[in-house]
Structure 1
Amino acid sequence: MVDIVVISDTIVQPESYEDASDRVKIHLTPWDLFLLRTEYAQRALIFPKPDPETHMISRLKSSLSTALNVFYPYAGRLVKIDNEDGETASFYIDCDGSGVKFVHAAAVTVTVNDVLEPAYSYWSEFFPANGVKSCEAVSKPLLAFQVTELKDGVFIAFSYNHLVTDGASVWSFFKTWTEIFSTGREKFPPLSLCGWFLSGIDYPIRVPISETVPSPVTGLSDADSFLGKKIFRFTSRHISQLKAKANGEVGVGSDVISSFQAVVGHTWRAIIRSSDLNPEEVIHCKLAMDIRQRLNPPVGKECFGNMVGLATTTTTAGELVKNGLGWAGLQLNKTVGLQTNEELRRFAENWVKNPKIPNRVVVNDSLTVTGSPRFDVFENDFGWGKPIVVRGGPGITGHGKIITYPGTEKGSTEIHTSLWSHVLDKLLVDEEFLQHVDLV
């Protein structure tokens, strides 16, 4: 048993909270509500150990309180309303200043290298919201932190509810927090909320009661025991080679298939090759994508909220394996291109008519790719050194779950995979795949 001691478990509130009459109510869109049953996303940055004179914990709390003045929705709570029809419920975020969770812990015998070992078995104990689902935010904070002091470093983990935020917004918040800590800056531009909603659709959206409560998934713990996790790093050289190969195979020019589409296409094909699926089996690749600039009128890139859609490419196992990287990259490219304002609004309008909320977004016939190598991760510096690594925590797992991050080397990309163990074993000896990646 690893010796992790919880020193304190507190709530940090915004430094100054306005009168209740100024409270903001954030109505939820179909993209928000679709994630009502999913677990909190959990991420972590591991930092060098600061000098004791830094007074790290007290300053982290005070700077976090200041950051919450700017990013005030995080300090709110989810509100559920049972509608008068007795069959539906509605939800909104009440920006009431209740605060975020902050856990201070210590594991003084554990080193940074210990927790980075692939076989390290106490990973979940460093995260503050294991197993918490989005719908539980009616009584739990929307954002939680755990700062664990290691023997030679600091493990800062955070968990966030996708109903209120996406990766772009949460990393923007983290950058603001580190800037406040390191410089003392307190004045920032007012937060811009992604305040769009569908014209012609009443809100709050009414969701059938049956869709708003988590239902048990039988055999889940047994299934998860057969999952393996591995991190693969694509260097800038690997990425350039894959992009050139993909575009060269289909003769569409050097910039049609993007670097990211080439990396995802390469990974998807390798996973399917290793899965021993029937060639006729229908498979999907779901890319989580920022839809801010795809709406008309577009929403500002800096606006706060959850603005993530899933661009789903569908084919068969046989077609994907047979047709090569260029074909795979082109299918991904076409699918992304179809995510227009009209298509996004059509999805939302149809969803409102028949709301369906999955228990788990990840299913066996799908590769689901979240995160982004474009997120500003390694510039988050509290003043005692930049992050050593970024890691994903426990949470939404399952075969085919892929989280992407920028790598520590400039221009590189890391993919953190969750796959059936027998598939991962084959992937680790797939020469075609391994020639363009490094193992972490």
Structure 2
Amino acid sequence: MPSSSVAILSKCTVFPDHKSNLKRLKLSVSDLPMLSCQYIQKGVLLSRPPHLQFDSFIPLLKLSLSLTLCHFPALAGRLSTDPDGHVQILCNDAGVEFVQARAKHLFIDDILAPLDVPNCFKQFFTFDNTLSYAGHYKPLTAVQVTELGDGVFIGCTINHAVVDGTSFWNFFNTFAEFTKGAKKISKSPEFSRDTVFNSPAVLRFQEGGPTVTFSGDEPLRERIFHFSREAILKLKFRANNNQSFEKAEITEKFELLGKESNDSWKVVNGMTNGNKTSLLTANRKAEISSFQSLSAQLWRAVTRARKLAAAKTTTFRMAVNCRHRLEPRLEPLYFGNAIQSIPTVASAGELLSRDLRWSADLLHRNVVAHGDATVRQGVKDWESNPRLFPLGNFDGAMITMGSSPRFPMYDNDFGWGRPLAIRSGRANKFDGKISAFPGRDGNGSVDLEVVLAPATMAGLEDDMEFMQYVS
């Protein structure tokens, strides 16, 4: 593969098209722990715009970004800590960073072909190794547009104390809509702070702010594993082995793939028979979901590849969206972080000696139990001991699942078609960090971005129980 060097051509600040009416937003109980996490880095690989010269495409992107920021004024602001220690977003229209870059020696087929994700993708983002606390003096958002030999990569970097995945992709997709020519926003964010996450609790910091909670220096391999709808149905059938495969296929039509099996379902393909809907809705909490089945298979395979002692405790940590878990529910497009982390633990010996159903059921029961009362208890626990989120693999036996195949990553069109691929930067990556993306072909397919120590990745690639489902 050619050299992955990327040339930076220009940097500038893009401001909202008009001044914000929103003055400030207080960081919540769900936002504050993310101040020690690095900025989120996600982006899309696109074919080359067929009707635009790249130099004329850049002004269009800047204009659409400016229009988008009018609807997301918090992203053009800065963090500020008041005398009482409360951290807030000042919506002061200070602007976001825009970077134009070039790597015309890189071509789409070349960078998508390798098994491991090439390092060039890390250079398609700015604000590397930047902790979210730095939003006190750095922009909260940055966009880098990199011209390739036959394509373009649009990478977006946003402060993790300001957004979670739901808010990130709402902003990104709105940016694409305005670039394509939309005259108004289709999904407006909700900036209310009158929620259970709004708290008088204060998170204290050492002088100079927090430090990263993982080393970031260890050798790592990163690979995208693709799972087709058919493969995931087979995994789901294994995890729910008291079902017929026919029922597994029927329920898949009602299930939106994601991190939680008790999310709202949508009836598709015209299947609106009242009896079927009632039966499946009544049974949905008893059924292990597709994503829980896939996660359990990954947990088992990575644990096996790590060659842990039988008595070693393993942890599978999964971030869940709390918007729909509260009573009353938060607005689906609530802006900010509305996530909590669910750890599931088991000894390596028991995890590997039991079948897939056992480990999938462990994950399932933890997720289903995470309802309104659990969310509120989590808030109270944090208020009694305000703390940063401990991101990392501290004992060599942890897996952290982030992102979600429910996020509308491919539902953006800058004017000439859907993305060819979704990729991330180097932010928040360590041995055992997994990110779930929807597959580009849709229809319930899933991509897992897996980051592991080299020896563990080699063991995973040799694990036939896992690899039989990879396409």
Counterpart check, 1:232 vs 2:238: no
Distance 2:154 2:360 in 1: 36
Taking a change above 3 Å as real, the CA distance of residues 211 and 244 of structure 1, as seen in their structure-2 partners, is farther
Partner of 2:153: 155
Partner of 1:86: none
Partner of 1:279: 310
Distance 2:370 2:212 in 1: 33
3-state secondary structure, aligned to 1:336: helix
Q: Unpaired runs of 5+ in structure 2?
A: 249-283
Counterpart check, 1:418 vs 2:443: no
1:377-392 aligned within 5 A: 377-392=409-424
The CA deviation at 1:301 is 1.1
The CA deviation at 1:44 is 1.6
Partner of 1:131: 129
Partner of 1:70: 71
The CA deviation at 1:101 is 1.2
Distance 1:335 1:215 in 2: 30
Which amino acid in 2 is paired with 1:81?
Answer: D
The CA deviation at 1:314 is 1.4
Is the 8 Å Cα contact of residues 117 and 223 (structure 2) preserved in structure 1?
Answer: no
Is the 8 Å Cα contact of residues 122 and 424 (structure 2) preserved in structure 1?
Answer: no
Encode CA deviations 1:325-369: one digit per residue, 9 max, x unaligned.
111111111101121211111111121221221453443322110
Counterpart check, 1:430 vs 2:459: no
Counterpart check, 1:307 vs 2:348: no
Is the 8 Å Cα contact of residues 230 and 416 (structure 1) preserved in structure 2?
Answer: yes
Distance 1:65 1:301 in 2: 24
Partner of 1:372: 404
Which amino acid in 2 is paired with 1:166?
Answer: D
Is the 8 Å Cα contact of residues 70 and 188 (structure 1) preserved in structure 2?
Answer: no
Distance 2:192 2:464 in 1: 45
The CA deviation at 1:148 is 0.3
Distance 2:441 2:407 in 1: 14
The CA deviation at 1:212 is 7.5
Distance 2:399 2:301 in 1: 11
The CA deviation at 1:122 is 3.5
Counterpart check, 1:215 vs 2:203: no
Which amino acid in 1 is paired with 2:328?
Answer: P
Partner of 2:39: 40
Distance 2:302 2:187 in 1: 44
The CA deviation at 1:3 is 4.4
The CA deviation at 1:229 is 1.4
Distance 1:196 1:280 in 2: 45
Counterpart check, 1:330 vs 2:352: no
Taking a change above 3 Å as real, the CA distance of residues 384 and 195 of structure 1, as seen in their structure-2 partners, is same
Superposition TM-score, scaled by structure 1 size: 0.91
Partner of 1:4: 6
The CA deviation at 1:7 is 1.6
Distance 2:164 2:367 in 1: 18
The CA deviation at 1:52 is 5.8
Which amino acid in 2 is paired with 1:104?
Answer: Q
The CA deviation at 1:190 is 5.1
1:23-422 aligned within 5 A: 23-51=22-50, 53=52, 55-83=56-84, 89-116=85-112, 117=114, 118=116, 120-186=118-184, 191-198=189-196, 203=200, 205-210=201-206, 213-215=209-211, 220-222=215-217, 224-225=218-219, 227-248=220-241, 254=248, 255=284, 256-358=287-389, 360-363=391-394, 364-410=396-442, 411-422=444-455
The CA deviation at 1:283 is 1.4
The CA deviation at 1:316 is 1.1
Distance 1:202 1:239 in 2: 40
Encode CA deviations 1:94-123: one digit per residue, 9 max, x unaligned.
111111111011112221233333363443
Distance 1:295 1:122 in 2: 41
Encode CA deviations 1:347-395: one digit per residue, 9 max, x unaligned.
1112122122145344332211011111112221111222110012111
Distance 1:216 1:412 in 2: 33
Distance 1:400 1:3 in 2: 27
Distance 1:403 1:211 in 2: 32
Tell me how many residue pairs correspond in the alignment.
425
Is the 8 Å Cα contact of residues 36 and 212 (structure 2) preserved in structure 1?
Answer: no
Distance 1:3 1:202 in 2: 45
Distance 1:140 1:150 in 2: 28
Taking a change above 3 Å as real, the CA distance of residues 261 and 425 of structure 1, as seen in their structure-2 partners, is same
Q: Which moved more, 1:253-262 or 1:397-406?
A: 253-262
Distance 1:82 1:361 in 2: 31
Same amino acid, percent of matched pairs = 31
Pairwise CA RMSD of aligned residues? 2.3
Distance 1:221 1:396 in 2: 8
Distance 2:357 2:191 in 1: 39
Taking a change above 3 Å as real, the CA distance of residues 407 and 211 of structure 1, as seen in their structure-2 partners, is farther
Distance 2:196 2:117 in 1: 47
Is the 8 Å Cα contact of residues 131 and 212 (structure 2) preserved in structure 1?
Answer: no
Taking a change above 3 Å as real, the CA distance of residues 249 and 394 of structure 1, as seen in their structure-2 partners, is farther
Q: Which moved more, 1:208-217 or 1:255-264?
A: 208-217
Distance 1:408 1:216 in 2: 33
The CA deviation at 1:417 is 0.6
Q: Unpaired runs of 5+ in structure 1?
A: 84-88
Q: Which moved more, 1:177-186 or 1:265-274?
A: 177-186
Q: Which moved more, 1:237-246 or 1:48-57?
A: 48-57
